[in-house]
Amino acid sequence: MNKLNRREFIKLGLTTGSFLALGGTSDLVVKALGKRETSKKIIILGLDGMDPHLLEMWMAEGKLPYFKRLRSLGGFKALGTSIPPQSPVAWSNFITGTDPGGHAIFDFIHRHPENYIPYLSTSETGEAKKTIKIGDYVLPLSGGEVNLLRKGRAFWQILEDYDIPATVFKIPSNFPPAETKQKTISGMGTPDILGTYGIFNYYTTESTELKEDIGGGRIHEVYVIGDRVEAKLSGPTNTFKKNRPESSIDLKIFLDPVNPVAKIVIPDHEFILKEGEWSNWKRVHFHMIPTQSVSGICQFYLKQIRPHFKLYVSPINIDPGAAALPISTPKGYAEELEKKFGPFYTKGLPADTKALDHGVLDDGEFLKQDDFVLKEREEIFDYELSRFDSGLLFYYVSSTDQRQHMFWRLIDKEHPMYNPSLASKYGKTIENIYIEMDKMLAKTLEKVDKNTILMIMSDHGFTPFRRQFNLNTWLKENGYISLINEWKQGEEEFFLNTNWSGTKAYALGINSLYINQKGREGEGIIEPGAGKEALVREIAKKLEQITDPKTGERVILRAYVTKDVYRGPYTEEAPEIIIGYNRGYRSSWSNPLGRMPKNIFEDNKEKWSGDHCMDPSVIPGILLTNRKIKAKSPALYDLTPTILSIFGIDKPKEMIGEPVF
Ligand SMILES: [Zn+2]
């Protein structure tokens, strides 16, 4: 662990590896489940992050007529979310009808206890076990595997047992898609072609824009020589070659000497872009060995030609027409959509929030890109809605979540990043996405007959994220973490400066706190048993008493001892404590990957300004339906048995919720 540097870490921990070359291993096209006529039908719109307070306010102001109408047809309630209210966890509650003790997703980020190395919690990739070396090449004899780490059965798998058809579009925490004959396509958690959660490329001649090692993107310095720019666009590492070089394609740009126009040339394509113009999807191929290449899709945005040349290239998405990793069931479903609509976003969360955070895209450019996402989503939705006539249709929208994350700063005057002039221009971004969803609901209502149950739901709501809390720094100052070099505090990352033999507890991920347990952690010191138990209670109690010296407010409403709140067989694998932050507070940007800045509190100076990784009581989601809701306080895991009961299916014993109608 101590020898790991940042670059290696990023490769190890937070990418899903490069196993793209061998593809989804099977070309078997599975037949989708047939069309059994069901007497009842269910349509569910999953609008990530839609907040009950905002919804209520804009309904009252008459801005959301169709939400209002749906409320009058049935009901509207705040929907209990998960502990913690992170999307992968919350959607897993909904998918399985359990809590994290039943599905084993506790946080965006988990760690390998033996070496403390973090990894993304929902999927893992394994390398090919047998390889053969020929000259410079290492040829795998079997495919690398990519596995979904979420446990428990998904509701559409249970529907399949009863021959009830379902289409599940981009539900989070389902990459690679759970095995089924139902039509599903993976969403949040689906990597880009590099095996990461999305790396953009940005080519610029302006040296002040150059930054090294930014998360989520690469900034390249380029030169204009004779109205021409030459660069490379990187693809996946070539696992077929001994030293695993990065694959790449040539990128040539010819600038018009007079007009703000350029011709972009990549293998198989050349196209013209005006300054400020986005390209449509372009297909790129990275050659590995003569018989293997990886296909991806990306968009180009010519930000500026003069005085400085600036070109943005989106993260390279898995090509849905020739998917290098499994992204749909049956495999042909993604291909079918690609044939009908052309290439479409496959990367889990398509909006490039990193490019906005790093100033590579400005607010308007970011929104333009997310508008492409939204338009694509709406087109495919219209298609799925028009052919839906039996069983269940679940359809997911990410733009609601992403826009609230990025634009909260412009509706919250107390936010450190509030900017009145930007607010006058983009202050209605969040309101507008709610209005857009109202229009989507209008179309859906037309399709709803007396046998159709319609549910609009979200996994959590939203609050401001104004102040960052460095939990590891707090643990250090309270004697729970010991450092190797005190004077290096704040400089080292990934616990590289942590003296594990003197460390009792550590925070990793956004809401998780672990005890450094003997026999579990590589360098654990706390014996399991009564002593550990007392330590967990002691830390939880102290955490709930912390106040922010700047505001006097309590920072943590509840520190949940997981064995008290989780049910199910995976509770033992959970972090010992889940942190429930107060409104306005969240884990710092440094904390999830084990960095320890000197100060416990910091203002949040990122554009990512709204959040939901707080206490569940602060940010419930929404449930709106055309049926009366009988449950007093419904929660995500109640919706799963609700779906089953509508089709007359008994609740499996592992599900912990109850039908809401
Ligand atoms: Zn979110």
What is the whole-number distance in angstroms between the Cα of residue 459 and the centre of ligand 1? 9
C-alpha–C-alpha distance, residues 313 and 296, integer Å? 12
C-alpha–C-alpha distance, residues 558 and 487, integer Å? 32
Top-confidence residue, 291 or 96: 96
What is the whole-number distance in angstroms between the Cα of residue 65 and the centre of ligand 1? 26
Check: CB of residue 220 under 8 Å from CB of residue 198: no
pLDDT per residue as tens digits for the range 347-377 = 999 999 999 999 999 999 999 999 999 999 9
What is the whole-number distance in angstroms between the Cα of residue 85 and the centre of ligand 1? 9
Residue type, 393: L
Return the percentage of the chain with pLDDT > 90, whole number.
83
* pLDDT value at 648 more than 90: yes
- Closest by Cα among 83, 44, 46, 47 to 401: 47
Q: What is the pLDDT of residue 237?
A: 83
Phi, psi of 532 (to 5 degrees): -65, -45
pLDDT per residue as tens digits for the range 284-331 = 999 887 777 889 999 999 999 999 999 999 999 999 999 988 999 999
pLDDT per residue as tens digits for the range 164-217 = 999 999 999 999 999 999 999 999 999 999 888 899 999 999 999 998 777 889
Ramachandran region of residue 213, left (φ > 0), alpha (ψ -120 to 50) or beta?
left
Hunting for tokens 């149950």 — which residue is that? 453
Check: CB of residue 615 under 8 Å from CB of residue 491: no
- The listed range with the strongest mean pLDDT (4-8, 235-239, 396-400) is 396-400
* pLDDT value at 10 more than 60: no
What is the whole-number distance in angstroms between the Cα of residue 399 and the centre of ligand 1? 10
C-alpha–C-alpha distance, residues 359 and 660, integer Å? 45
Q: Which token pair is 482?
A: 């010991």
Check: CB of residue 365 under 8 Å from CB of residue 278: no
Contacts of 291 (CB under 8 A, 6+ apart): none
Q: Output DSSP code: residue 633.
A: S
Q: Average pLDDT of 386-390?
A: 96
Mean of per-residue pLDDT scores for the chain? 92
What is the whole-number distance in angstroms between the Cα of residue 245 and the centre of ligand 1? 34
Question: How far out from the chain centre does Cα 346 lie?
Answer: 12
Q: Average pLDDT of 322-342?
A: 95
| DSSP-based three-state secondary structure for 6 | helix
Top-confidence residue, 204 or 31: 204
* pLDDT value at 24 more than 60: no
Question: How would residue 141 be classed by pLDDT, with cut points 50, 70 and 90?
Answer: low
What is the whole-number distance in angstroms between the Cα of residue 638 and the centre of ligand 1? 21
Q: What is the pLDDT of residue 14?
A: 45
Q: What is the pLDDT of residue 148?
A: 94
What is the whole-number distance in angstroms between the Cα of residue 609 and the centre of ligand 1? 11
What is the whole-number distance in angstroms between the Cα of residue 323 and the centre of ligand 1? 26
Q: What is the pLDDT of residue 131?
A: 63
Question: How would residue 526 be classed by pLDDT, with cut points 50, 70 and 90?
Answer: very high
Q: What is the pLDDT of residue 38?
A: 81
pTM of the model: 0.93
Which run of H or of E encompasses 79?
strand 75-79
Q: Judge residue 653's burial from the number of C-beta atoms within 10 Å of its C-beta, 0-12 exposed, 13-18 middle, 19 or more buried.
A: exposed
Contacts of 487 (CB under 8 A, 6+ apart): none
Phi, psi of 138 (to 5 degrees): -120, 110
Q: What is the pLDDT of residue 290?
A: 75
**What order of strands is seen across the sheet that includes strand 261-266?**
228-237, 246-255, 261-266, 269-274
* pLDDT value at 114 more than 80: yes
Q: Average pLDDT of 489-493?
A: 84
Which run of H or of E encompasses 446?
helix 429-447
Cα torsion angle, 281, 282, 288, 293, sign:
positive
What is the whole-number distance in angstroms between the Cα of residue 200 and the centre of ligand 1? 20
What is the whole-number distance in angstroms between the Cα of residue 40 and the centre of ligand 1? 32
What is the whole-number distance in angstroms between the Cα of residue 660 and the centre of ligand 1? 25
Instruction: Outline where DSSP puts E strands in 151-290.
Output: 166-169, 183-185, 200-204, 217-221, 228-237, 246-255, 261-266, 269-274, 277-278, 282-289
C-alpha–C-alpha distance, residues 357 and 372, integer Å? 19
CA distances from 608 to 143, 588, 611 (A): 38, 12, 8
Q: Indicate the pairing of strand 610-611 with strand 145-148.
A: unpaired
Q: Average pLDDT of 272-278?
A: 98
What is the whole-number distance in angstroms between the Cα of residue 402 and the centre of ligand 1? 6
What is the whole-number distance in angstroms between the Cα of residue 240 and the centre of ligand 1? 36
What is the whole-number distance in angstroms between the Cα of residue 460 and the centre of ligand 1? 8
- Closest by Cα among 151, 167, 168 to 99: 151
Residues, beta carbon < 5 Å, ion ligand 1: 401
Helix axes 363-387, 331-341, angle to 10 degrees: 110
* pLDDT value at 132 more than 80: no
Q: Which token pair is 236?
A: 């996946």
* pLDDT value at 92 more than 90: yes
Q: 538-541: which pairs have CB atoms within 8 A and are 24 or more residues apart?
A: 539/475, 539/480, 539/505, 539/513, 539/577, 540/577
What is the whole-number distance in angstroms between the Cα of residue 352 and the centre of ligand 1? 13
Which run of H or of E encompasses 543?
helix 530-544
Contacts of 370 (CB under 8 A, 6+ apart): 350, 351, 399, 402, 403
What is the whole-number distance in angstroms between the Cα of residue 517 and the centre of ligand 1? 31
* pLDDT value at 595 more than 60: yes
Q: What is the pLDDT of residue 223?
A: 97
C-alpha–C-alpha distance, residues 202 and 309, integer Å? 10
What is the whole-number distance in angstroms between the Cα of residue 47 and the centre of ligand 1? 11
Q: Average pLDDT of 243-264?
A: 94
Q: What is the largest CA-CA distance in the chain?
A: 77
What is the whole-number distance in angstroms between the Cα of residue 401 and the centre of ligand 1? 5
What is the whole-number distance in angstroms between the Cα of residue 264 and the centre of ligand 1? 35
What is the whole-number distance in angstroms between the Cα of residue 144 and the centre of ligand 1? 30
Peptide bond preceding 84: is omega within 30 degrees of 0, i.e. cis? yes
Peptide bond preceding 616: is omega within 30 degrees of 0, i.e. cis? no
Q: How many helices (H) and strands (E) does the chain have?
A: 16, 34
CA distances from 198 to 154, 185, 283, 318, 597 (A): 26, 18, 17, 11, 26
What is the whole-number distance in angstroms between the Cα of residue 613 and the centre of ligand 1? 8
Q: Output DSSP code: residue 420.
A: H
Hunting for tokens 């106040």 — which residue is that? 547
Return the percentage of the chain with pLDDT > 70, whole number.
92
| DSSP-based three-state secondary structure for 367 | helix
Q: What is the pLDDT of residue 30?
A: 42
Hunting for tokens 């998960």 — which residue is that? 82
* pLDDT value at 342 more than 60: yes
What is the whole-number distance in angstroms between the Cα of residue 158 and the centre of ligand 1? 28
What is the whole-number distance in angstroms between the Cα of residue 413 and the centre of ligand 1? 21
What is the whole-number distance in angstroms between the Cα of residue 509 and the centre of ligand 1? 15
Strand pairing partners for 635?
Answer: 80
What is the whole-number distance in angstroms between the Cα of residue 86 and the centre of ligand 1? 7
What is the whole-number distance in angstroms between the Cα of residue 306 and the centre of ligand 1? 36
- Closest by Cα among 556, 218, 516 to 358: 218
CA distances from 446 to 213, 355, 634, 645 (A): 49, 38, 26, 24
